[in-house]
A and B are shown apart, each in its own frame.
Chain A
């Protein structure tokens, strides 16, 4: 094998080790076929290997996987036989709901952009710098988004807690 091919394969091997993380990312985002999303994302990475950052390929892979999941979801919303619209949100709720139903509801109520900002940090364990790269924004912009998303989520959680407390008192809201 030529050195060019060998070095490309070696480099791709370093990217390929992140396959389980991409599959987990797809699973957390409610993909119907996380393994297929992972395989497809890595195939794209091989085809565009020169574009994949050498320091940490995860932001690039997550961004690719996100696009693939969006495509999957778009079609799912068109083809009723495959799934129902909004299934992704429902699956996020269901996944989180196992441990924390209240949080699941609040996350599902967030916009996709806000949710992604939070999840990239909390679930994908990316630093703000890497998460910003995954979203294609500057670090400063990401930090602002993270702050706002966190605030919105807190408000949703507080509202949910208030509603639960009101319900437990048996008092009707006017």
Chain B
């Protein structure tokens, strides 16, 4: 368009031009969140229209699956809307599913009627079927028939429960079941005590689930302690570890050497033998608006590092003790209740997350370089918090519960006020995260 002199003058005064930046992480983070389900719905529409094409595709897909199984598949993709609907008993089970979520979390809005039968595989000497149902607002619930596991994973809860790129259930003896978010993860790997590794087959399920599922029978050669499975890790396309879940102690018959201790204010928690409970310090204590009391205790370890105990760390009734060497936990660690010390993540600078329920609490662990943590909300509000001994515990008040006002990011700043890292929370519109006065169908919008 030819501009006149006035517009040319405005153009010449342009104060900012686009600056190309490397935003691969942001791209991955966005596409890991629930996308537009209508695109898949449209596909199903066209599938109905061209049934013959679909039939041919189904035959080809079946052949591919048979071939893959025959030759040992490691990745498999299932189109959710093409999958058979789950039987009525499973739909009913999903409709009444509490998903094992911690108390205080709103009952997940499962679209039970949309549940699908994804795959049937053999483990533990019997056939087990995976059923998956989407959740309104993103996320999914899944259940393995038989003695398998199940649960619900909201699209946007991090870190803490349902956080990180993957979740593993160790409760089925000899079999690792779990899920992995569709995002940067390209491969799941089993790591064993003897240093060997194995690729874990993943069954990827398309939108609106956008996740992979695993049922990995641990090989018999890795059932003894010397060769036991020690962790499941998520690897990106470059083979970098982007998530890790450590295995519980190999022998459940031997209880972990942690013992219950009572802290000076009566708080009870489990601690490892070298925890110097007598030197425990309560570094944070305050009363949120509901009159309850939030606290954080720090207990040093003789080997270095410390354990901390807080009833605001992830909202469960019984406060767990979390031990780290040194005082930092990787965002990918999911060892909140694990008795072993966690491996520090040298690349991470700061992590934070919610404790759901009432009060709603922001909890963060910061490296020493972090002088200030700035919370940023949808409505432009910002709050600056100063870590105490590397910890941040802050109530997210009712002013930031409503849509449009919710927390979107936590930014770690150094002493010069420069940004070190940003923890961005996607999809703050997700229902069921914050409390409200008038839930709709038991869910807060």
Q: Does B associate with A?
A: yes
Taking the complex as formed, is B274 at the interface, i.e. its CB lies under 8 A from any CB of chain A?
no
A72 is contacted by which of B10, B43, B78, B379 (Cβ under 8 Å)?
Answer: B379
User: Chain A residues near B27 (CB, 8 Å)?
Assistant: 12-13, 16
Most chain A CB inside 10 Å of its own CB: which residue of B35, B78, B377: B35
- 0/1 string, B54-79, CB within 8 A of A gives 1: 00000000000000000000000111
- 0/1 string, B145-184, CB within 8 A of A gives 1: 0000000000000000000000000000000000000100
Closest to A79 in B: B381
CB contacts under 8 Å to B, within A37-80, are 39-40, 42-43, 46-51, 71-76, 79
Contact at B381–A121, with CB atoms within 8 Å? no
Contact at A36–B31, with CB atoms within 8 Å? no
Taking the complex as formed, is A168 at the interface, i.e. its CB lies under 8 A from any CB of chain B?
no
Taking the complex as formed, is A154 at the interface, i.e. its CB lies under 8 A from any CB of chain B?
yes
Most chain A CB inside 10 Å of its own CB: which residue of B15, B381, B405: B15
Contact at A72–B21, with CB atoms within 8 Å? no
Taking the complex as formed, is A169 at the interface, i.e. its CB lies under 8 A from any CB of chain B?
no
Given the interface pairs A49-B35, A99-B13, the reply to whether A1 lies near B379 with Cβ below 8 Å is no
Contact at A4–B79, with CB atoms within 8 Å? yes
Taking the complex as formed, is B4 at the interface, i.e. its CB lies under 8 A from any CB of chain A?
yes
CB contacts under 8 Å to B, within A15-29, are 16, 19-21, 23-24, 27-28
Bound CA–CA A23/B21 (angstroms): 11
Taking the complex as formed, is B23 at the interface, i.e. its CB lies under 8 A from any CB of chain A?
yes
Contact at B18–A24, with CB atoms within 8 Å? yes
Contact at A100–B1, with CB atoms within 8 Å? no
Contact at B16–A5, with CB atoms within 8 Å? no
User: Chain B residues near A82 (CB, 8 Å)?
Assistant: 380-382
**How far is the CB of B62 from the nearest CB of chain A, in Å?**
15
Contact at A5–B26, with CB atoms within 8 Å? no
Contact at A99–B206, with CB atoms within 8 Å? no
CB contacts under 8 Å to A, within B370-385, are 376-382
Chain A interface residue number, banded: 35 or more
Chain B binder among A122-130, A133-141, A159-167: A122-130
B10 is contacted by which of A24, A43, A103, A127 (Cβ under 8 Å)?
Answer: A103
**How far is the CB of A93 from the nearest CB of chain B, in Å?**
10
Give the A-B pair count, Cβ closer than 8 A.
149
Contact at A123–B3, with CB atoms within 8 Å? no
User: Chain A residues near B8 (CB, 8 Å)?
Assistant: 122
Contact at B6–A150, with CB atoms within 8 Å? yes
Contact at B7–A49, with CB atoms within 8 Å? no
Give me the interface of B with A, judged by CB distance under 8 Å: 1, 3-4, 6-21, 23, 26-27, 30-31, 33-36, 38-40, 42-43, 77-79, 182, 204, 206-207, 210, 376-382, 404-405, 408-409, 424, 426-427
**9 cross-chain pairs, A with B, having the tightest CB-CB distances, nearest first:** A95-B15, A75-B379, A20-B18, A122-B10, A2-B206, A49-B36, A72-B380, A75-B380, A27-B16
Contacts A/B (CB < 8 Å), 5 sampled: A9-B31, A20-B18, A50-B42, A122-B14, A154-B6
Task: Supply 10 further A-B pairs (C-beta < 8 A) apart from A5-B207, A50-B42.
Answer: A4-B40, A16-B27, A24-B17, A33-B376, A49-B39, A51-B36, A71-B379, A99-B15, A121-B1, A127-B1
Give me the interface of A with B, judged by CB distance under 8 Å: 1-2, 4-5, 7-9, 12-13, 16, 19-21, 23-24, 27-28, 32-33, 36, 39-40, 42-43, 46-51, 71-76, 79, 82-83, 95-96, 98-100, 103-104, 107, 118-119, 121-123, 127-128, 150, 153-154, 157
